[in-house]
Structures are given as C-alpha cells and as structure tokens.
Amino acid sequence: MRVKLTIEYDGTNYAGWQRQENALAVQQVVEEALFRLTGKPHAVTGASRTDAGVHAFGQVAHFDAQSRIPAEKYAYALNTVLPADVRIRDSRAVAEDFHARFSAKGKWYCYSIFNDAHASAILRNTHAHVMYPLDVDAMRREAQCAVGRHDFRAFAASGSVVKDTVRTIHSIEIARQGKCVSMQVRGNGFLYNMVRILAGTLIGVGTGKLEGGAVRRALASGSRLDLGVTAPACGLTLMEVFYDA
Amino acid sequence: MRVKLTIEYDGTNYAGWQRQENALAVQQVVEEALFRLTGKPHAVTGASRTDAGVHAFGQVAHFDAQSRIPAEKYAYALNTVLPADVRIRDSRAVAEDFHARFSAKGKWYCYSIFNDAHASAILRNTHAHVMYPLDVDAMRREAQCAVGRHDFRAFAASGSVVKDTVRTIHSIEIARQGKCVSMQVRGNGFLYNMVRILAGTLIGVGTGKLEGGAVRRALASGSRLDLGVTAPACGLTLMEVFYDA
C-alpha cells in the first residue's frame, strides 16, 4: 500500500528536506520515525527538496507501507514518535503509481517578511527582516511581470543543472498586515532557489535599492545579475503541493 | 532621564519577565544588556510579570538612564547586544514620574490556539494545541459574561494574595482563521493567571467539556472550581500596555 503524507515542519533546526551525510534532514527524521514504528526500513520520497531553514506547512511525501497500520492512522502514530518541530498533518492511501514529486501539478509557497527598523523576536525564525520601508504597490507591479509562462533561467541558483527552465507562475499575491508583508506564489513548478531569488528581487524593488523592471530585464537576458539577492531561507514556507484529484 | 522601553520577546526559553535566582528571566537579560552598553548597573521595571513561556509583543519597562545616549537610540544600541529572542521595539524619554506598572491604564492580551487533530510544528511555541473542534460561537457567548466590571477572585491563581480583585474587562474578541483561533482580551488590569484561566474556561466551553454559564457561576460564587483549567502559557502574548497620552 502506498501512503501519502502531508508534513509540516519548522525548518530552523534542519539541513532541509533531503537526507544528508553530515547534518540532520527532515526526510531522515521521518524515515527513522517509520522505522521506530514498524521495525522496518522505509524510503520516503518528498515532493520538494526544501533548503536548510525553509519551512513547510504542506510538504507531501509518499512511501510504501511495510505494516498493517491503516493509512489514516500513520499521522497519529508517527506524531507520537516525531520531534515537536515535525508533524504529520494527514496520511492516506493513494494509488500505487502516485509519486509525491512526479505527480505534483503545482506548488504554493509563501514568503514572509517582518518590515520594521527592528527585527522581530517572536517571528525571527519564520520571517525575513527588512529594515527599510517596503513599497508594496511597487512590489506588486514588479511581481506581475513574473506571472505567466516564462524561461526562468535567470532565476535559477548558479550551478543549477536543470535543462528545461521554462515554468509557469499562476499568481503572486502580496499583502501587508501591520509590520508583516507576505508574498503568496503559486506555480506549476519552481527552479532551485527561484522563489527566494524572486522574493529578494521584489524586496530590492520595494526598498528602492533595485530599479523597477528587473524581472522583465532578467527574463529577456537570462542573466542572474539582473536580479536581486537570494532572500533568506527562514522567510520561505512550502504551503501546499497540488495534485490531480 | 527616565526611558520607556517597548519590548518584544519570545518567552519560550525564559522563566518569565521577573528576575529570579536560579533561572534566566527577560528582565535580567535587558538589565545585563544595559550594563554591557553603559558599564553601569540599571534597574529595569516592567509593566507586567509575564510567566515562564508567555510572550510579549509590547511589554513596557522603564529605567533611569546613567549615560548620555539619546533615549530613542537605546532601541538600536540594545538590539546589538540582546539575544535574538528579545528585541526593543521602541525607546523614548518620558516624564520622571512615569512608572511602567503604576501608570498603566490597561492591557491587551492575545491568547492563540491551534485547533486541529494534530499539533502545529511551526506554531508549537506560540499557540496552545486544542485537538477537539472548538465551537467559536459558544465561546463568544460565554466570553461576553466576563466583559464589564466584576470581582474576578475566582479567576485568580490559588495562592494569590491580591486584596482588591475587582477588574474591568473592556472587550473579548474571538476569531477563527483556518485552524487558528485567537482571543483578544482588553482590560484595565488582570489578576495573576486571569487570562489563562479565562482562556482555559472558554476552551472548555468551546469543546463542550465544560457547561456553558461557567463564567457567570464563578463570578457569583467566587470559586475557582467553577472554571476550567489554566490554559498553557505558550498561547499567551502580552500585546500592548496602555497609558494616558
């Protein structure tokens, strides 16, 4: 039986999703929890390789169950052995050909900013601190240039080896609530660091450090140099992964 | 020169606001930061003795400056030496007779709940977890019985020695946003543990574990036994302390 997990984690203390040699990753923590629960090794495949410090409210993963635990009980059982900064939000049986990564039709990321002269104590691990006032209208105008189907190779981290760099961004919504500014980005897929480079560029335009039109120029030139810095990992949260029903 | 500080802190790793013998309190951290900055001892007086694990977005404190640093620069200077889970949001000069506690005219607390079968990883330190569905309408009805001027002795933690237990709650607003339920409580003052006992009672009524009318019965009887459990410290945040302008 193939089981789909929806996983929330506070990425602060992890080296990202993907299992690593010398640092603790969320994938390893979930696989070890499955081992503690069943006494059998399980490989858990995630939809998104979130970076160190990046959070998830709705990471999705699948594994092939090696026990008779009903699929919907895995969430309850795993949460009794997982650390408090990793929670299974949902578990359910899926078709044998479901694949967390390859079946994904789209993703929703949220980038969160605390915009004030002084950083936030309470939100320090989940919001990037921007000390200069953000012009949210300018950010919205800039963001609209990224919406649609484009070759986003300028938005890929240097050293990235993906061949097809065409992606579709469905929508970018930017909202201010007091000192917090959030960017909700939905698309059919994202290159490595793409959302953080987009966020850093919009922050640059929002503070006036970067000239408006940067996204348009970068889409035309394909050059990473036309864009802003990569925004800090802590501001990024993978909210949801979309699949065909 | 008397200086008023507005202080934010993530209370997770502190034994509360007030300086203690064997545990680290926020007051001590701020006093030590002032010492590192000026080389002189300062006594810092806070408006509210928040408990261990309770957070503040707007704790207020005052001290008498022993240096020539302009009042409004203390926020910037202190934030360079404070740990990241304590931030000075604002510093300003006030009248010599301003007193953070005795001049306070009211306070605003927020109690935050994550309401789902499974606890939240990301919000685990700032939201109390309630696994049974909350009836927010029932909570609102119950809350209205606490609004107004009442003798709240039933809402004081046992062992409390305050003589005058009459307080005025100005308003209680309860809102649901997805899996999060927040209670905003504003009043002219609060007894020790009063907001957490009120929150625990409203949670009890909201889950159906406690019969409606508990607040009314407790105000009449003065008995702590008519109320629900004291809700966990981590859900509570001191949002703002009010003073005459």
- Are the beta carbons of B119 and A84 separated by less than 8 Å? yes
* CA separation for the pair A228, A19 (Å, rounded): 29
Nearest to B208 by CA among B146, B147, B137: B137
Which amino acid is it at A179?
A: K
ipTM: 0.94
Helix (H) / strand (E) containing B137: helix B136-144
The CA angle A236-A239-A243, to the nearest 5 degrees, is: 135
Q: What is the pLDDT of residue B67?
A: 83
Q: What is the pLDDT of residue A157?
A: 74
- Are the beta carbons of B87 and A119 separated by less than 8 Å? yes
Distances (CA, A) of B129 to A9, B96, B184: 16, 43, 17
Rg (CA), chain A: 19
* CA separation for the pair A36, A82 (Å, rounded): 10
Catalytic position from the list A51, A97, A226, A244: A51
pLDDT bin (cut points 50, 70, 90) of residue B119 is very high
Q: What is the pLDDT of residue A161?
A: 73
Q: List the beta strands (DSSP E) in A106-179.
A: 106-115, 128-130, 148-151, 166-177
Contact between A134 and A207 (Cβ < 8 Å): yes
Q: Which among A87, A116, A124 has CB closest to B119? A: A87
Q: What is the pLDDT of residue B214?
A: 97
pLDDT average, residue stretch B200-205: 98
Residue B158 has pLDDT above 80, yes or no: no
Nearest to A227 by CA among A236, A215, A238: A215
pTM, whole model, 2 decimals? Answer: 0.94
Question: Each residue of B9-32: pLDDT tens digit?
Answer: 999 999 999 999 899 999 999 999
Q: Quick one: closest CA in A to B54, which residue?
A: A122
Q: What is the pLDDT of residue A245?
A: 75
Q: What is the pLDDT of residue B218?
A: 97
Contact between B69 and B38 (Cβ < 8 Å): yes
Q: Which among A55, A84, A89 has CB closest to B124? A: A84
**Paired tokens of B23:** 């545990």
CA A193 to chain centroid, in Å, comes to: 9
Q: What is the pLDDT of residue B221?
A: 95
Catalytic position from the list B51, B64, B226, B244: B51
pLDDT average, residue stretch B99-103: 97
Contact between B219 and B145 (Cβ < 8 Å): yes
B21 CB-near residues (< 8 Å, 6+ apart): none
pLDDT average, residue stretch B63-75: 94
Q: Quick one: CA dihedral A73, A74, A77, A83, positive or negative?
A: negative
- Are the beta carbons of B120 and A8 separated by less than 8 Å? yes
Nearest to B48 by CA among B115, B100, B1: B100
Half-sphere exposure of A97 (CA within 13 A, CB side): 1
* CA separation for the pair A22, A241 (Å, rounded): 28
Contact between A198 and A214 (Cβ < 8 Å): no
Nearest to A107 by CA among A240, A5, A237: A240
Contact between A206 and A138 (Cβ < 8 Å): yes
Higher per-residue pLDDT: A67 or B57: B57
Q: What is the pLDDT of residue B66?
A: 85
Q: Which among B9, B55, B121 has CB closest to A84? A: B121
| Residue that is written with structure tokens 């502190």 in the block | B14
Contact between A155 and B126 (Cβ < 8 Å): no
Query: What residues of A are in contact with residue B122 (Cβ under 8 Å)?
Result: 8-10, 55, 57, 126, 237
Rg (CA), chain B: 19
Mean pLDDT score of chain B: 96
* CA separation for the pair A169, A191 (Å, rounded): 11
Residues of B with CB under 8 A from a CB of A: 8-10, 55, 57, 75-76, 79, 84-89, 116-122, 124, 126, 237
Is A116 among the residues known to form the active site?
no
* CA separation for the pair B162, B20 (Å, rounded): 21
pLDDT bin (cut points 50, 70, 90) of residue B94 is very high
pLDDT average, residue stretch B112-129: 98
Which residues of chain A fall below pLDDT 70? 159-160
